[in-house]
């Protein structure tokens, strides 16, 4: 009888853990982006000689682990925005019967820059919500920290429909949707924004046209390749916006044109 009670108690405990896990996952998917720090939506202007970057993590049982994960993301983002190598290629094949797109992406940053950031950065602000941990990283160190308020997402910004125009800056927008993890969604949206920035002003295009006879018909094929492979400096994700109704994540990346001369 005692063994049976122990078994029942064990099953009840496992059931509770399972239910809690499912509820936590569902809550993160459905309500993860209700409230965010204001500097996560729009990056503040950093003091002269300093750069800001944002890091974020999902729910952790231990706040220390969540903080460490968010700091790691912010540090990588800082290294990417200081200098990163972007390799992008998209191949389009069409022959009148079908159209095939084959995109490839590659992003890398320098290890020595990352190590230097780890040694000299400081957390300018941080925030904990019901669904995650957010940090605002400053590099190099600053004496005066900032304090950002928690807020709901604002109205849909104009840059989600049309890139801003400014004589001094280049822009790119990253868009992703239907992710089960909001953390993964923002990571991809941020990176795609950098790729879009590079694609908008630095791209090589090649076109190949072929024709062949197939069962007494002439089939014409077109292959279009667009690509670039270049190092970019000072590419900063300055704004984000989440469309809760359609589950779409938007990131806006900006680069001063003087860094590409």
pLDDT at 95 over 60: no
Query: Does residue 237 register a pLDDT over 90?
Result: yes
Helix (H) or strand (E) holding 236: strand 235-243
Where is average pLDDT lowest: 29-33, 79-83, 117-121, 244-248?
29-33
**Where are the domains positioned within the chain?**
1-31, 32-260
pLDDT band of 7, cuts 50, 70, 90: very low
* pLDDT tens figures, 144-161: 678 789 999 999 999 999
Tell me the pLDDT band of 99, cut-offs 50, 70 and 90. low
Average pLDDT of the residues of the chain: 80
Q: What is the pTM of this model?
A: 0.76
Strands (E) located in 99-216: 99-109, 122-128, 133-139, 150-151, 169-177, 204-214
Per-residue pLDDT tens over the stretch 123-137: 999 999 888 999 999
CA dihedral for 132, 56, 162, 199, sign (positive or negative): negative
pLDDT for 19 beyond 50: no
Question: How remote is the C-alpha of 142 from its chain's centroid?
Answer: 25
Residue 18's pLDDT band (cuts 50, 70, 90)? very low
pLDDT surpasses 70 at 188:
yes
DSSP class of residue 162 equals: S
Sheet holding 248-256, edge to edge: 169-177, 248-256, 235-243
Q: How far is CA 41 from CA 111, 182, 234, 248, 252, in A?
A: 28, 14, 19, 14, 10
């Amino acid at each position: 009888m005692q063994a049976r009670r122990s078994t029942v108690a064990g099953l009840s405990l496992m059931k509770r853990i399972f239910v809690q896990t499912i509820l936590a996952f569902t809550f993160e998917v459905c309500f993860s982006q209700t409230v965010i720090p204001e500097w996560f939506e729009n990056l503040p202007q950093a003091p002269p000689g300093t750069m800001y970057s944002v890091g974020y993590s999902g729910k952790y049982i231990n706040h220390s682990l969540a903080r460490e994960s968010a700091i790691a993301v912010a540090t990588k983002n800082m290294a990417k925005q200081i200098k990163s190598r972007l390799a992008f290629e998209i191949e389009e094949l069409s022959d009148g019967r079908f159209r095939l797109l084959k995109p490839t992406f590659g992003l890398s940053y320098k290890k020595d820059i990352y190590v230097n950031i780890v040694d000299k950065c400081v957390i300018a602000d941080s925030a904990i919500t019901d669904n995650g941990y957010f940090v605002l990283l400053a590099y190099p160190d600053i004496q005066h920290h900032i304090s950002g308020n928690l807020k709901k997402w604002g109205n849909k910004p104009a840059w989600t429909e049309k890139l801003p125009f400014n004589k001094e800056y280049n822009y790119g927008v990253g868009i992703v949707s239907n992710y089960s993890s909001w953390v993964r969604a923002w990571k991809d949206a941020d990176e795609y924004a950098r790729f879009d920035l590079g694609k908008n002003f630095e791209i090589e295009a090649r076109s190949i046209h072929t024709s062949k006879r197939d069962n007494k018909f002439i089939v014409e094929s077109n292959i279009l390749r667009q690509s670039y492979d270049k190092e970019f400096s000072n590419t900063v994700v300055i704004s984000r916006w989440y469309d809760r109704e359609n589950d779409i994540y938007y990131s806006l990346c900006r680069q001063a044109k003087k860094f590409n001369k």
